[in-house]
Structure 1
Amino acid sequence: MKTNNLTSLILLLSVLLFFNCKNEKETESIEDTTSHKNYGQVEVITRAMEFQTLDTLRSGWTTFSYKNLSGEVHFFLMDKLPSDSIVKSDITDHLMPAFDDGMKYLIEEKVDSAMATFGTIPTWFNDVKRYGGSGLISPGKTAVSTINLVPGKYMMECYVKAINGEWHTSHGMWKFITVVDEPTDYTPSKATHTLSVSSTNGYEFDGKPTAGKTVFKVDFIDQVPHEHFSGHDVNLIKYKEGADMDALVHWLNWMNPDGLRTPAPDQFEFLGGMNNCEAGETGYFEVVLEPGNYVLISETPKANEKGMLKTFVVD
């Protein structure tokens, strides 16, 4: 009887020791990962209509690795809010309804009603500053982008549309992120190519990309609101021979009822890029290029007529 009790006691202590060590390792791993990410490297995951990532980041250069594990095209954009006092109800009760109802009117081809509804967008939204993010990214792909964040309260969002025309933001694809005044110790990777973006000269691009890891530096010379109330950005897309480029230009304008709406046009694979940044700001994005046809294009109405569409071939 004593032997059985001793054996049971040893077994119990072994189990407790195992779980204690396991928990310590898990805690250590989580803490180490969080600390590492807070120093300039952040993972973002989407499995459906959400952003799984940290709520608090440090300021300065930060590289986001955005994994799209969902079945739809997404992106993320970092909107710096004009006030830390903006709360969830300001977004869900005032901002989103204006965009939701305005889009419904556009789908119904009631343009005047749509414009009037967009006119009810809260005035504070005009003072939002944009500090980049990823370009559009296809399901199963990962977008890597590096941006320079200043302290403040941000709204991370994706405003691609679902198959019924509703914004992804209205399906929960947004979150608040606080950037604290404590800089990272991170610096961007050395650029392979530089792309300048402006409303006057469009894309000015140096060199010819080759196969392999490529880092694009994007300099925003200026930033102006276009016909869709937003600025210009850069999206990298691989396309198949014979793909309809006009269909892509049309789809990238969200003001079209079927623009930015699921499903994305065939023959195109979205590989990330650099979302809207303020004038004078710089962002970086990286990708492993394989042989094929590529296009750099802005999510801007008539991007082809504004010089914001550049094709290139990787041999």
Structure 2
Amino acid sequence: MKKLHHLTSVKIIVGLILLFFIFQACKTEKKDAIKETDKEEVVEIITNAMDFQSIDTISSGWNTFKYINKSEETHFFLLEKYPVNKSINDGRVEVFPVFQNGMDLINEGKPEEALKEFGNLPEWYSEIVFSGGSGLVSPGETGITTLNMKPGYYVMECYVKMENGKFHSVMGMSKPIIVTNSESGNSEPSENFSISISSDQGITYDATKLPLKGVRSFEVTFIDQITHENFVGHDINLVRYDDNVDLKDLESWMNWADPKGLIAPAPQGITFLGGVNDMPAGSTAYFRVNLKPGNYALISEVPNTISKNMLKTFKITE
């Protein structure tokens, strides 16, 4: 009986060990399955200098863009949906030079002549649909933006200015992107914090539910869209800034039509972390960022952001 009892005990122990390993195997398989389904396909865009390195064709629907700025200057990317039968070659001949000539005249102190030059934009320019993109991204930073893309022909552009006043777009920072009729199958992201922006209310959100530190997803809804004094629509840019930064300097720098605006170098003590570029009224997009303790601002790339309520600040604490 004692021997039989011993054998029974051994069987029980062996059985428990087997159950333990089976449980761990199942647990591992489940963990791997979650990891597999959580994988996110992204459209990677890399800037090394005055360039966009990316694929040329993407699917329609929800797409997440990972913009990696490896250069020494601040950049963004804006996706412009061109009208039928127009291409980047038309833009480089009929659009980019007009803006550069106008900017040169502004720098020369000739605003009236600059305004006249902007009148030389082709009629089809008004048919371009500005369809989002990243906010400004500082050197060494990465911006992650998710957009719902419609099929069509797009031009990717950055028009931050070099120290000599030349737009990055005329220096090579533009390229075509084709969005096909094939759906990506990606789902709309979830959000941790919702923002709205409009021409009459500015940037609005629930100040009682500010995001906490860590990786957070921001939802941005464009209530309306207008063309501001500097010929662009409103957008959202996330900034982390040092305690000694004067936000009025940031406000001035965000206006490209100012000779000292949107030009290298960016203001000291400022780190741009992405956001969502211009989009049509009714659009919703997302951007994701790892929030560290510090001072933050949401700001639009338009003149007079403070009076338009398009410069809002908040803090992330430990």
TM-score (norm 2): 0.85
The equivalent of 1:249 in structure 2 is 251
Structure 2: distance between partners of 1:159 and 1:178: 20
In the TM superposition, 1:209-288 aligns within 5 A as 209-288=211-290
In the TM superposition, 1:30-179 aligns within 5 A as 41-83=42-84, 85-179=85-179
The equivalent of 1:313 in structure 2 is 315
Amino acid at match of 2:234: H
Structure 1: distance between partners of 2:274 and 2:288: 8
Deviations, residues 121-156 of structure 1 (Å, cap 9, x unaligned):
111111111211100000000000000100000000
Q: Greater Rg, structure 1 or structure 2?
A: 2
Amino acid at match of 1:300: V
Structure 2: distance between partners of 1:40 and 1:289: 22
Structure 2: distance between partners of 1:189 and 1:129: 23
Where do 5+ consecutive residues of structure 1 fail to align?
1-38
Equivalences, count = 276
The answer as to 2:188 corresponding to 1:181 is no
SS at match of 1:112: helix
Contact 1:45–1:51 (CA<8 Å) still a contact in 2?
A: yes
The equivalent of 1:28 in structure 2 is none
Structure 2: distance between partners of 1:196 and 1:284: 12
Deviations, residues 14-67 of structure 1 (Å, cap 9, x unaligned):
xxxxxxxxxxxxxxxxxxxxxxxxx95200000001110011110000000000
Structure 1: distance between partners of 2:217 and 2:169: 29
Deviations, residues 243-286 of structure 1 (Å, cap 9, x unaligned):
01001000000110111000001110000011011000001000
Runs of 4+ in 1 over 3 A off after TM superposition: none
Distance apart, 1:159 and its partner CA: 0.5
Contact 2:135–2:275 (CA<8 Å) still a contact in 1?
A: yes
Distance apart, 1:89 and its partner CA: 3.1
SS at match of 2:306: helix
Where do 5+ consecutive residues of structure 2 fail to align?
1-39
The equivalent of 1:7 in structure 2 is none
Contact 1:44–1:53 (CA<8 Å) still a contact in 2?
A: yes
SS at match of 2:73: coil
Structure 2: distance between partners of 1:113 and 1:252: 23
The equivalent of 1:29 in structure 2 is none
The equivalent of 1:35 in structure 2 is none
The equivalent of 2:200 in structure 1 is 200
Distance apart, 1:187 and its partner CA: 1.6
Contact 1:78–1:155 (CA<8 Å) still a contact in 2?
A: yes
Structure 1: distance between partners of 2:96 and 2:281: 26
Structure 1 window deviating more from structure 2 (171-180 vs 186-195): it is 186-195
Contact 2:82–2:127 (CA<8 Å) still a contact in 1?
A: yes
Structure 2: distance between partners of 1:260 and 1:248: 10
Contact 1:40–1:184 (CA<8 Å) still a contact in 2?
A: no
Distance apart, 1:88 and its partner CA: 3.8
SS at match of 2:288: strand
Identity within the alignment, %: 45
Structure 2: distance between partners of 1:129 and 1:189: 23
Contact 2:88–2:175 (CA<8 Å) still a contact in 1?
A: no
